[in-house]
């Protein structure tokens, strides 16, 4: 294989190619909505004045561009896909922050905190619609297929989010249910991002399917790492309080697999996180002593190890999917490097 | 022209044609979301048990079916358009109820009140996505154009909703701004509904354009009547408290045109509805004496008359648009009758 530049360089180069299209898409929004979206994307302050650098790593748009190149097309062919996927991803973040009551993202107040719940709902709605406009205008030959693929992925993502909420009310979520929810919530959109450029390039179904599988496994690996960072991540790097997911009693992969282990420590964890059957106990977040104890128990019950093994297994499956079809060598290597990077990240 | 059956019969016949497709579309949603949507549509109680008759008049799906027939196609061709428009309309209702804090619709608790804000956001998101799935699967030849038309209308509707919220914070909304907001918020989706069947039938642009203009004017007439009913509607028919829009200090067409009249009574209305420049006065709804006085003042300043004249003018413009192109006679007459019905309705 040809040697390639490192992942941060690939991300930076993609961002450069993709930024003008994203700016142009956001320009189409009405001024009030544009101000919220520009703020959310880290382009501007709450008053709309330009500021520093955008938030987020830009992994999804990069995947969309690489998937066009993997299918032997120019990266430019994937740009509408990159824009659309980034729009849907950010629509889901803006709505999720309302749903989860999260007040901060990347050390900044979330959109609903600054602008109100109603306007934040509208900003998300506008981004979802914008994504389809961008794709349907992209290419007469392939735009409709791309839009259909994105709608399917979005529907799965939303179903996963609904399950995630429902699980909060339940004491008996199985490991299988948890993995299926993650596959829907995170895997489907990453699977779409990783294949949308190829769809726009008119690639054969086998190529699109292999790239989508790569992205779905990458999404599950990504979610596993996210769940590990949600318990053991360094607050100065993740931008969230230590053990944030435990504090919020989130049924993440490490927790659910630890609870499934059985035994005294799993029972202690269950009563710590889920309280007595009486639901009122669930209202308050855990305090920091409880968070520390819960993190110990998740580890002791094998939840950390299990999740780490799953992250590696999904990384291997993602890399394996890339071998199923003949794709262009340089983007092949860059997709592989990106997958490793995602699993090894610390924020 | 051939004599046609009355409007209620046309609506009932459309509902019969359209209901199975809408049921099938909603069946695709994940169970938790399906329960919320089924409840919202009046199909079931909060636990998902089937109940009485659906809420809403079904004007939008009927328009979509008639627009296919107007373009000399079978009504069936318009069914995916009817389903998609109904999905988008209900997505906007579910989200609007959260945004406006409305606790009741058609004498029933709204989705967010029953299921929570987070789940209600998700239910709306799912319906928006479902609309595009339905259209993109409808017809390889015309589904993409239909999806693009719906995305454009949805984007305009969302922009109108953003303006509507922004206007609540302002004391100086002009009649022109108010009309532009209504055109975006209500007119764009009705314009889409009234032409989507023709788009799916592959009708020429002139036909699609005339039907869309019919629907846009119908939307403005509809909104004008809605605004009149929001002040002078009979609570037993509208399902909302008497003078509800005044109670909520809404800057509807009658209010904005009355404020623009100038003079002592307009100033009294302004201070009653908008309070002193100090915003804290805006938090509380008007009491029933204030509502009664405000309704008198809007009438005295000509707001009722102005809005009634506008409703008639848009009705005439809607009927005029239908004369611009040659469309099939029976649906032509039914579209015309439907427009008159919308303007003369009392709920």
Task: Give chain A positions within 8 Å (CB) of B162.
Answer: 30, 32-33, 119, 122, 126
Closest CA to A244 of A231, A226, A253, A256: A231
Q: At B243, which helix (H) or strand (E)?
A: none
CB A336 within 8 A of CB A319: yes
What is the pLDDT averaged over residues B36-44? Answer: 95
Measured distance CA(A56)–CA(A59) in Å, rounded: 8
Q: Is B158 within 8 Å of A122 when comparing Cβ atoms? A: yes
User: At residue B1, does pLDDT exceed 60?
Assistant: no
- Per residue in B163-187, pLDDT tens? 998 888 888 889 999 999 999 999 9
The interface pTM score, or ipTM, of the predicted complex is 0.91
Q: Interhelix angle for B7-27 vs B329-344, to 10°?
A: 90
Number of C-beta neighbours around residue B51 at 10 A:
14
B29 reaches A (C-beta below 8 A): yes
User: Which one-letter DSSP state was computed for residue A50?
Assistant: B
Q: Where are the domains of chain A?
A: 7-344
Closest CA to B328 of B69, B4, B62: B69
A7-344 folds as Farnesyl Diphosphate Synthase (1.10.600)
| Tokens 């764009």, located at residue | B188
Measured distance CA(A113)–CA(B12) in Å, rounded: 45
In angstroms, the separation between the Cα of residue A320 and the nearest Cα of chain B is 30
CB B331 within 8 A of CB B69: yes
Closest CA to A82 of A121, A24, A166, A4: A24
- What radius of gyration do chain B's Cα atoms show? 20
Measured distance CA(A225)–CA(A173) in Å, rounded: 20
What is the pLDDT averaged over residues B73-91? Answer: 97
| A76 burial via Cβ count (<10 Å: 0-12, 13-18, 19+) | middle
Q: Interhelix angle for A143-168 vs A175-182, to 10°?
A: 150
Measured distance CA(A27)–CA(A43) in Å, rounded: 12
| Tokens 């089937």, located at residue | B50
Measured distance CA(A20)–CA(A23) in Å, rounded: 5
In angstroms, the separation between the Cα of residue B141 and the nearest Cα of chain A is 10
Task: Give chain A positions within 8 Å (CB) of B161.
Answer: 122
pLDDT < 70: residue spans in chain A: 1-5, 53-55, 276-283
What is the pLDDT averaged over residues B338-345? Answer: 92
Confidence of residue B118 (pLDDT cuts 50, 70, 90): very high
Closest partner CB to B33 (pick from A129, A132, A162): A162
CB A309 within 8 A of CB A260: no
User: At residue B70, does pLDDT exceed 90?
Assistant: yes
A64, B197, B258, B290, B299 from A191: Cα distances, Å: 10, 33, 55, 57, 58
Give the residue on A whose Cα is nearest the Cα of B120. A99
A60 reaches B (C-beta below 8 A): no
Q: Is A148 within 8 Å of B137 when comparing Cβ atoms? A: yes
Q: Is A129 within 8 Å of B154 when comparing Cβ atoms? A: yes
Measured distance CA(A298)–CA(A258) in Å, rounded: 5
What is the pLDDT averaged over residues B119-128? Answer: 98
Average pLDDT, chain B: 92
What does the block give as tokens for A307?
A: 């999740």
Task: Give the sign of the dihedral formed by CA B226, CA B94, CA A188, CA B29.
Answer: negative
What does the block give as tokens for A312?
A: 């590696």
Task: Give chain B positions within 8 Å (CB) of A144.
Answer: 136, 143-144, 147
Residues 6+ apart with CB under 8 A from B287: none
User: At residue B57, does pLDDT exceed 60?
Assistant: yes
Measured distance CA(B282)–CA(B250) in Å, rounded: 11
What does the block give as tokens for A236?
A: 């100065």
Could you give the percent of chain B with pLDDT greater than 70? 95
Number of C-beta neighbours around residue B269 at 10 A:
25
Measured distance CA(A111)–CA(B347) in Å, rounded: 37
> What are phi and psi for residue B48, nearest 5 degrees?
95, 5
CB B222 within 8 A of CB B194: no
Q: Strands, E, within chain B: which ranges? A: 104-105, 108-109
Closest partner CB to A126 (pick from B100, B155, B165): B155
A8, A88, A108, A147, B334 from A42: Cα distances, Å: 19, 16, 9, 26, 51
Q: Is B122 within 8 Å of A158 when comparing Cβ atoms? A: yes
Q: Is the model more confident about B141 or about A280?
A: B141
Maximum distance among all alpha carbons in chain A?
A: 61
What is the pLDDT averaged over residues B80-90? Answer: 98
What does the block give as tokens for A88?
A: 């849907």
DSSP labels, A176-233:
HHHHHHHIIIIIHHHHHHHHHHHHHTT--HHHHHHHHHHHHHHHHHHHHHHHHHHHH-
Q: Is B159 within 8 Å of A124 when comparing Cβ atoms? A: no
Task: Give chain A positions within 8 Å (CB) of B91.
Answer: 125
Number of Cβ pairs closer than 8 Å across A and B?
126
Residues 6+ apart with CB under 8 A from B245: B227, B230, B231, B252, B255
Measured distance CA(A150)–CA(B125) in Å, rounded: 14
Maximum distance among all alpha carbons in chain B?
A: 61
The four Cα atoms A143, A149, A151, A153 give a dihedral, to 10 degrees, of: -150
- Per residue in A36-67, pLDDT tens? 999 999 999 998 899 876 667 899 999 999 99
Measured distance CA(A253)–CA(A308) in Å, rounded: 10
Q: Is A122 within 8 Å of B95 when comparing Cβ atoms? A: yes
- Per residue in B223-268, pLDDT tens? 999 999 999 998 888 777 788 889 988 889 999 999 999 899 999 9
- Given its phi and psi angles, is residue B345 left (phi above 0), alpha (psi -120 to 50 degrees) or beta? beta
Collapse the DSSP code of A310 into the 3-class scheme (helix H, G, I; strand E, B; otherwise coil) and give the result: helix
What is the pLDDT averaged over residues B320-342? Answer: 96
Q: Which residues face A44 on adjacent strands?
A: A50
CB B196 within 8 A of CB B81: yes
Vertex B250: Cα angle to B249 and B252 (nearest 5): 140
Which contacts of A52-55 are long-range, i.e. CB under 8 A and separated by 24 or more positions?
Answer: A54/A15, A54/A19, A55/A105, A55/A106, A55/A108
N-to-C CA span, chain B: 29
A161 reaches B (C-beta below 8 A): yes
Output the pLDDT for position A3: 46
Measured distance CA(B189)–CA(B219) in Å, rounded: 8
Q: At A193, which helix (H) or strand (E)?
A: helix A188-200
């Amino acid at each position: 294989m040809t040697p390639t530049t490192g992942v941060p360089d690939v991300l930076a180069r993609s961002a450069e190619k993709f930024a003008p299209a994203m700016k142009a898409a956001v320009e189409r929004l009405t001024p009030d909505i544009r101000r919220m979206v520009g703020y959310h994307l880290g382009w501007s302050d709450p008053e709309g004045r330009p500021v520093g650098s955008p938030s987020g790593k830009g992994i999804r748009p990069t995947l969309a561009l690489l998937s066009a190149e993997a299918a032997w097309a120019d990266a430019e062919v994937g740009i509408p896909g990159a824009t659309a996927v980034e729009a849907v991803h950010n629509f889901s973040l803006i709505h999720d922050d309302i749903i989860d009551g999260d007040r901060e993202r990347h050390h900044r107040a979330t959109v609903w905190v600054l602008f109100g719940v109603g306007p934040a709902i509208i900003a998300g709605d506008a981004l979802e619609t914008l994504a389809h406009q961008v794709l349907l205008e992209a290419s007469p030959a392939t735009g409709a297929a791309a839009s259909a693929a994105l709608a399917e992925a979005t529907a799965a993502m939303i179903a996963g989010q609904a399950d995630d909420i429902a699980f909060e009310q339940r004491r008996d979520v199985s490991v299988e249910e948890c993995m299926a929810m993650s596959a829907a919530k995170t895997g489907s959109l990453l699977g779409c991002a990783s294949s949308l450029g190829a769809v726009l390039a008119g690639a054969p179904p086998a190529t699109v399917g292999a790239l989508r599988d790569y992205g779905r496994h990458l999404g599950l690996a990504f979610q596993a790492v996210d769940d590990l960072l949600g318990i053991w991540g360094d607050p100065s790097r993740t931008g969230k309080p230590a053990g944030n997911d435990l504090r919020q009693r989130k049924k993440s992969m490490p927790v659910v697999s630890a609870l499934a282990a059985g035994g005294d420590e799993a029972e202690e964890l269950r009563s710590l996180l889920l309280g007595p059957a009486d639901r009122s106990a669930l209202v308050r977040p855990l305090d920091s002593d409880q968070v520390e104890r819960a993190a110990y128990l998740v580890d002791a019950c094998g939840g950390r190890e299990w999740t780490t093994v799953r992250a590696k297994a999904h990384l291997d499956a993602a890399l394996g999917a890339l071998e199923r079809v003949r794709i262009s060598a340089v983007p092949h290597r860059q997709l592989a490097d990106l997958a490793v990077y995602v699993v090894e990240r610390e924020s």
